Amino acid sequence: MKAVQARVTGRVQGVSFRWYTQEQAQRLGVVGWVRNEPDGSVLLHAEGEDDAVDALVEWCRTGPSMARVADVAVREAAPSDATSFDVGY
């Protein structure tokens, strides 16, 4: 099992990035959350099988078609008690 936190920067708010991230996470069996940050970035916490978490982070490097991702900064995170993947506000 792997847990990471990733900050996605670029044009990632107002383009349904969080909702598409939730869809991808659910498809991959990843739990955690994603939310918009005041600085215009998107922050996510993802937990699951190593390959699934890696695949979600890799998807975030492109995101949905309307997004323009500049960077994805990833760091290890402590596991949480998440049982689903939620969209925060």
Q: Cα separation of 4 and 43, whole Å?
A: 11
- Name the average pLDDT for the chain: 98
Q: Cα separation of 13 and 2, whole Å?
A: 26
Residue ranges per domain, the chain? 2-77
Q: Cα separation of 71 and 9, whole Å?
A: 5
Q: Cα separation of 34 and 4, whole Å?
A: 12
| Catalytic-role residue among 18, 35, 61, 68 | 18
**Per-residue pLDDT for 49 more than 90?**
yes
- Summarised one tens digit per residue, pLDDT across range 61-70 is 999 999 999 9
> Check: CATH 3.40.50.740 for 2-77?
no
pLDDT at 52 (0 to 100): 99
pLDDT at 55 (0 to 100): 99
pLDDT at 89 (0 to 100): 80
| Catalytic-role residue among 36, 61, 68, 75 | 36
Determine if residue 40 is left, alpha or beta; phi over 0 gives left, psi from -120 to 50 gives alpha, anything else beta. left
- Summarised one tens digit per residue, pLDDT across range 12-21 is 999 999 999 9
Find all residues with CB under 8 Å of 27, minimum gap 6, and list them. none
Does 27 participate in catalysis according to the annotation? no
Does 61 participate in catalysis according to the annotation? no
